[in-house]
Amino acid sequence: MKALLIILAVGSLLLGGGYGLFRYVEVLREEGRPTVRTVSAQVRDLRQQVSATGEVKPVVESIVKSEISGRIAELLVAEGDRVVRGQALILLDTVSLETRLREAQRSLEADSLRYDRAKRNRVRISELFDRNFAGEQDFLDAQTDYELAALSIKIAETRVEDAREDLAKSRILAPHNGIVTLLNVTEGQVIAGATSVSNGTDLMTIADLANLYMEANINEVDVGKVAVGDSVEIAFDAHPDLQVSGKIRIIAPTARREGNTRVFPVQIQLNQADERIRPGISATVSITIASVEQVVAVSLAAVFTDERGPFLFVETDRGFERRNVDLGISDLRHVELISGLQAGEMVALRRPPEERMVRP
C-alpha cells in the first residue's frame, strides 16, 4: 500500500511538470511572435501622377560674340543688368578701324581720278579712230583701260563699305531684351571675332527671364500616358514653399539613352514668373494622368500579389483572412480598391503568421 502511494505521488509530479513545461513553451512561442501592424481602409481622393526631374531654362538665351577682333575699350554693362534690344554692351578700340577706313577712302579717290583719266582718253582715242588718225590697237587699249578703271572703282567702293561696317561692329549691341546672366570679359581684354574658322570669344550671356521653361526626361514607360497641352505642377528644390503650374509644350519624337534606361525629353512652359525662379535651378514636375474622388483606398504596403492576383490580409474575429481584391489607380502611398474591401475594415501591413490565418 505504501509503495502504491509513492508511485501515485511521483506520477502526479511528472504530470504537473510536463504541463508546466508545455505552458512555458507556449508562452515563449506567443512572446516570440512578431506583432502584425494594421491599417484601416478609408475613403480618399486619389491622383495618379508621373514625376520627373529637370532644370529651368530660358526660352530665349544668347551667347554674345563679336564679329571682329579687337581690344575692349569700354564695358558698358555688368552681371545682373537688364538690357533692351539694340543697347550698346561693349565698345572696341577703333583706332586701327578708323585708319583702315581713311585708307580705303583715299584709295577710292585715287581710283576715281584714274577712272576720269581713262574715260577722257577713251573718248579722245575714239574720235581719232573714227577719223582714221588712230589705229585699232590704240582704240582697244583705251577701251580696256577705261573698263579696268571702272572695275577698280567698284572694288574701292566695296573696301570702303567693308571698313565702314567693321567700324560700326566695334559697338557690340544686345540681340534681344533680357538680363546679363554671365559676363566673361573685362576692359582692356583682347577678343577674337567669330568667323567661319573660329568660334570667337564668348563675351556674355543674355537671357529673357520673363519667359522660362523646364526641360525634363520622362521614362519610356510613362511617356505614352502624357500629351502636349497637359497641365502640370512644378516644385523647386531650392524653394520648398514655391509651386507653380505649367503646360507641356513639346514631347521629343525619339528617345535617348540615359544610363540603362531610355527617356523622352519634354519641354514644359511655366505659366507664371517669379523672381526666385532662375535658369539652372533644379525642379520636379508632377503630371496627373488619372484622378478619382471619394473612393475606398488602402496603403500600398498592405497589398500583396501572387499568380492569382492582388490580395489583402483582412483582420477578423478569428484572425486574418486572405481576400482577393480589384485595384484601381494609385498615388505614391495609397491605392484604390474597386472591390473586395469596405471602408473601415482593418488590413495587415505584413504577412501574418500562418497559424493565425483562417480561410474565408
Query: Where are the domains positioned within the chain?
Result: 38-46+292-356, 51-59+210-290, 61-93+170-209, 94-169
Cα torsion 72, 76, 82, 83: sign: negative
14: Cα separation from own chain's centroid: 80
Q: How is residue 217 annotated by DSSP?
A: E
User: Looking at this protein, which amino acid is placed at residue 100?
Assistant: R
Q: Give dist(CA 190, CA 71) in Å, integer.
A: 4
Per-residue pLDDT of the chain (360 residues; tens, 9 = 90+): 455 445 544 455 455 455 544 454 454 444 445 577 888 888 888 888 888 889 999 989 999 999 999 999 999 999 999 999 999 999 999 999 999 999 999 999 999 999 999 999 999 999 898 888 888 898 899 999 999 999 999 999 999 999 999 999 999 999 999 999 999 999 999 999 998 788 999 999 999 888 889 999 998 888 888 889 888 999 998 888 899 989 999 999 998 888 888 999 999 998 887 788 888 889 999 888 788 888 899 898 889 988 888 998 888 888 888 888 889 888 878 998 888 888 888 888 888 875 344 444
Fold of 38-46+292-356: 2.40.420
User: Looking at this protein, which amino acid is placed at residue 79?
Assistant: E
pLDDT at 278: 85
For residue 331, what are the CA distances in angstroms to 44, 81, 104, 210, 305? 11, 44, 74, 33, 18
CATH number given to 51-59+210-290? 2.40.30.170
Fold of 94-169: Helix Hairpins (1.10.287)
pLDDT at 237: 86
- 196 by Cβ neighbours in 10 Å (0-12 / 13-18 / 19+) ranks as exposed
Q: How is residue 12 annotated by DSSP?
A: H
| DSSP bridge partners of 262 | 257
Q: Give dist(CA 32, CA 27) in Å, integer.
A: 9
Q: Give dist(CA 247, CA 249) in Å, integer.
A: 6
Q: Give dist(CA 243, CA 58) in Å, integer.
A: 18
**Residue 39 contacts residue 349 (beta carbons within 8 Å):** yes
pLDDT at 11: 52
| Nine cell digits for residue 314 | 483582412
Neighbours of 327 (CB within 10 A): 18
Residue 14's SS3 state is helix
**Residue 279 contacts residue 57 (beta carbons within 8 Å):** yes
For residue 315, what are the CA distances in angstroms to 33, 41, 95? 17, 12, 91
| DSSP bridge partners of 257 | 262
Q: Give dist(CA 298, CA 306) in Å, integer.
A: 18
pLDDT at 273: 76
- 334 by Cβ neighbours in 10 Å (0-12 / 13-18 / 19+) ranks as buried
Q: Give dist(CA 49, CA 230) in Å, integer.
A: 12
131: Cα separation from own chain's centroid: 83
Q: Give dist(CA 184, CA 77) in Å, integer.
A: 12
Given the C-alpha cell 497559424, which residue does it identify?
355
Q: Give dist(CA 60, CA 206) in Å, integer.
A: 8
Chosen CATH of 61-93+170-209 out of 2.40.30.10, 3.40.50.150, 2.40.50.100, 3.40.228.10: 2.40.50.100
Residue 191's SS3 state is strand
